[in-house]
Amino acid sequence: MHEEQRKENFMRLERELQAKGYKLVAGVDEAGRGPLAGPVTAAACILPEDFDLPGLDDSKKLTEKKREYLADLIKEQAVAYCVASASHLEIDRLNILNASKLAMKRALAGLSVAPNYALIDGRDKLDISLEHKAVIGGDRLCACIAAASILAKVNRDRYMCELHELYPVYDFNRHKGYPTRSHFEALEKYGPCPVHRRSFSPVKEMTAI
């Protein structure tokens, strides 16, 4: 598909909202619901109408190199963006769904330009006064959500690489905290570290008294 046509398809929801008077539409997405360690990270992003982000797509469909490249372009071109997290401690206290919502709310609240409307990836709406809509598969359907998904993923991956420096035996730089075989093997050998999520199996069973 021609890039311009693809862009227009990707902007359909945003265009419909802009035609109704919502000129600044923020996309919101998160990364890191599934890992056994580290935070859940969310991003909010408002794109300009004339953005130029070749290959923009759901972060999960992109290579690490492509995500890094697009993340830099998004930051250069965005009307506003913000990345925020909820910690592993908040995940354990609130549960992963509520912690994800908290991170999303923080990302929206941190935007330097206030949006008129928000498109949220997933099926759950947020407890906020801003008008918004939950979009299932939004990171594949909406440009602003796709941009947010890339910012969230890149930010979280970089942070997990920083945690690798503190806790190298777990190889967080490789699997980013997700439940891979090598991660399970490290947990069996060394037990959980301070950034593991105590409410997630098998960490929960390992830390049960």
Rounded to a whole number of angstroms, the CA Rg of the chain reads 18
Structural contact between residues 81 and 8, judged by C-beta atoms closer than 8 angstroms:
no
pLDDT of residue 2: 65
Mean per-residue pLDDT of the chain: 95
Structure token digits, residue 22:
């919502």
Mean pLDDT of 30-42: 98
Q: For 136-146, what is each residue's pLDDT tens digit?
A: 999 999 999 99
pLDDT of 21 reads 95
Domain presence at residue 95:
yes
- In Å, what is the CA distance from 186 to each residue of 119, 156, 198? 38, 21, 16
| pLDDT over threshold 60, residue 209 | no
The total of structural domains in the chain comes to: 1
CATH of the domain at 30: 3.30.420.10
Residue 1 has pLDDT above 80, yes or no: no
Q: Is 145 part of a structural domain of the chain?
A: yes
- pLDDT bucket at 8, cuts 50 / 70 / 90: confident
Q: How many CA atoms lie within 13 A of 63 on its CB side?
A: 3
Once rounded to an integer, what is the mean pLDDT over residues 173-183? 97
Residue 180 domain flag: no
The reply to whether 13 falls in a domain is yes
Distance of CA 167 to the CA centre of its chain: 23
